[in-house]
Amino acid sequence: MKLAIVGATGMVGREMLKILEQKKILIEELILVASEKSVGKKLMFKNKKLSVISLSSLVKRKIDFALFSAGKEVSKLWAPKLAEKGCRVIDNSSYWRMCSKHKLIVPEINGEIIDNKDMIIANPNCSTIQLVAVLYPLHQKYKISRVIVSTYQSVSGTGKRAVEQLRNEEKGLNSKKVYPYQIYKNVLPHCDDFEENGYTKEEMKIINETKKILDEKINITATAARVPVLRGHSESVNITFEKSFSIEEVKKTLENIRGIKLADNTSKNIYPTPITSENQNEVFVGRIRRDESLKNTINLWIVADNLRKGAATNTVQILQKILKKSKTNDSK
């Protein structure tokens, strides 16, 4: 397998390198791609130094897969060019997610719908991934009618410059601001740009992507906030079911799902935090309790590393799902 990582020098690209190495995926040739200013830069993979090349150089090569994490404009322009040459693209940007021709995949939920015709596959938004990972098994069992989600998102979700802003503000240094206000010791109810309806793009991504992945009939609303945390997104979620439930049943259901870790024992102060999730590939859930103000409703708390399961891990898992399917088809 010849594999390219587009956006290899970015925060998510570097996580992809770590995960590919950890999962010991057999790669014949790994090609690292970034912007022109990063060409020639060296990155380590399996104790070897690999040089970064440009996208214009990449399209001249014959490759099997490309993992994209370089922003929607790069994906818009270059993903189709690679797909035309027979390269399958797994894209971490927002550009292809809501396109009806392209599948939006969380492997544990809908990985089986991928087929050989899918040349560009979309990776969902980081906040969406951790949300639907928990909603899916509950929707299967109790049928969700409505979801209210409030997110508390780390600065790494914005990228390197946002991390630098937080660190500089903590040290009392002046630096370029990515956010309109100070983020250190602050909370901003503002993730991504505002749209005409008063919601931010991030909030609309959560709403629209959840419906596409799970069920168009689910009523969902979202508020996304940026908090002074380096990595790891948290979500407070209120879920109304059509069917009755017991809290113990809900906990047992989630406890038995691969990729989810239950951390819920308030008598011992056990619940998920961003630090809990750091460098972990799982989605953590806790504070599960009945909403006593509304029938068939619960509150819970979800945390995941936004650079891992929220981005790089999910992308690599999509790749693994494709490889597994190809192997199964070849053996038939």
Active-site amino acid positions = 126, 233
Instruction: Give the pairing type, strands 29-33 and 2-6.
Output: parallel
DSSP state of 39: T
CA distance 230 to 169: 13
DSSP string, 162-222: HHHHHHHHHHT-----SSSS--TT--BS--S-B-TTS-BHHHHHHHHHHHHHT-TT-EEEE
* Summary count for the chain: helices (H), strands (E): 10, 13
CA-wise closest residue to 92 among 259, 282, 319, 320: 319
CB 74 within 8 A of CB 7: yes
Spatial CA neighbour of 63 closest among 19, 31, 96, 18:
31
Check: CB of residue 178 under 8 Å from CB of residue 186: no
DSSP state of 80: H
